[in-house]
Amino acid sequence: MPTDIAHDLENPVDDRYSPPPCGELDEIRAVLDDGRLSGGAQILPVYERTLAHRFGAARAIAVNSGTSVLHAALIAFDVRPGTEVLVPATAPLPTAMPILTCGATPVPVDTLPNSLALDPTDVDRKLTARTRAAITLPLWGYPNDERAITGLLADAGVPTIEDAAQAHGTRIANQHAGTLGRVGCFSTHDRKLLSTGEGGFILTNDQELADRIDYYTHLGHLRGGHGVNYKLAGPLAAIGLRRLTHLDAQLTQRRRNAERILAALPPGGPLRELPYGVQDKPNYYNLVLIATARQPEIAAAFHAAGLSPDSIRWRYQPLYHQPLFQPYATACPNAEHLATATIQLPVHPQLAEKSVAWITDQTVRIAQEETAA
């Protein structure tokens, strides 16, 4: 049920979506009655088959976090000390940290202008004989068409890992995000569209790769090989199984709320939506607008209105500005622009009509004021 929220600087709209009850307690109760709460619970393979079917993949493997999924995928591609992984300069810390966990070198790559897709010129420049994988990133649930780098990576024998942590239901070239590379990595953390509190899953059409990831994330099946314990607990799988059935309705409402704000934007004004292709469809994890001029002033205006963009609220910036990744800094001007020019707005289904109207009014006001400035 949408919540009615006071609209002032002391109490801005809540960007966290808390799914309404949809029978999760019944699913959890069934797991409790079964008595097996670990990753060996009977509900796990049911959840995995349902995930694979929902997103059109041959296999799904559920694990305990999105970071664990990325780490396991890197291990499956033999990422280790002395190797390199291409990673978008737009990546947040959880995307790149697993590279360091493997002891490998992250290589930040620039994006195309006003896009989340990797720049093929920069990819070509940074590919080496040590490159073991490339990570792509539909950040904020926005599509990133990576067809321009497909041939480059294929010729180099470099597999693609999609970090689709925020992209449940996003469509790229009319396919589900997370099914275009060798493996797609998803998070089901509390802030994601499909939320189990903590958790994640991989999607792949490569059965042999799926077996390797399953083996590694399940302690090598206790058969003498090396592995880690990344299993998802049974009660969390129960939550995911029930909430998955409501994902389509959530996507519909997010898109409806986003369209309402977009329809009100002044034509030719300083704000427009982050571009995507005609066969693409965001899931609207956030509605993302780009400021075409006066970026610092527009970001400050949204912050003053209680709608802080990620660059202010979370201090979002290109990966190599983070202290941990400064040794790997490289020039990525398009990523720099994207970090400072984008405005992220909540459009989740829990927002009341009054809240969506308020966000729309604030966005229009800022656009009109900045046009007149």
- The count of structural domains within the chain is 2
Distance from C-alpha of 226 to C-alpha of 313, rounded to nearest angstrom: 41
Q: Are residues 50 and 167 in the same domain?
A: yes
Same domain as 252, residue 361: yes
Query: CA 79 to CA 66: how far, in whole Å?
Result: 17
205 and 328, same domain (yes or no): no
Judge whether 9 lies within some domain.
Answer: no
* pTM for the structure as a whole: 0.94
Domain assignment present for residue 366? The answer is yes
To the query of whether residue 192 is one of the catalytic residues in this protein, the response is yes
pLDDT of residue 9: 53
CB 289: neighbour CB atoms within 10 A? 25
Task: Indicate if 182 and 260 belong to the same structural domain.
Answer: no
Would 66 be classed as within a structural domain?
yes
- CA angle (339 as vertex; 334, 342 as ends), nearest 5: 105
Domain boundary among 189, 216, 242: 242
Domain span at residue 100 reads 24-242
The domain spanning residue 289 has which CATH number? 3.90.1150.10
Q: Is the pLDDT of residue 217 over 60?
A: yes
Closest CA to 182 of 214, 207, 200, 151: 207
Let me know whether 259 and 131 are in one domain. Answer: no
pLDDT in tens, 116-131: 999 999 999 999 999 9
As a whole number of angstroms, the distance between CA 39 and CA 62 comes to 9
Domain end, chosen from 225, 242, 259, is at 242
Q: By percentage, how much of the chain surpasses pLDDT 70?
A: 97
Give pLDDT, residue 284.
Answer: 98
Residues 324 and 258 in one domain: yes
Per annotation, catalytic residue among 192, 231, 281, 354: 192
Classify residue 96: in a domain, yes or no: yes
Indicate whether 115 belongs to any domain.
yes
Q: Which tens digits make up the pLDDT trace of 222-267?
A: 898 899 999 999 999 999 999 999 999 999 999 999 999 999 999 9
Whether 2 is covered by a domain: the verdict is no
Question: What mean pLDDT do residues 322-349 have?
Answer: 97
CA neighbor of 182 nearest in space, from 201, 210, 155, 217: 210
Residues 186 and 89 in one domain: yes
208 and 354 fall within a common domain: no
pLDDT in tens, 74-113: 999 999 999 999 999 999 999 999 999 999 999 999 999 9
Interior CA angle at 214 toward 154 and 104, to 5°? 55
Query: Does 15 score more than 90 pLDDT?
Result: no
Residue 136 sits in the same domain as residue 224: yes
Q: Based on the fold, state whether residues 236 and 266 are members of the same structural domain.
A: no
Give the residue-averaged pLDDT of 69-73: 98
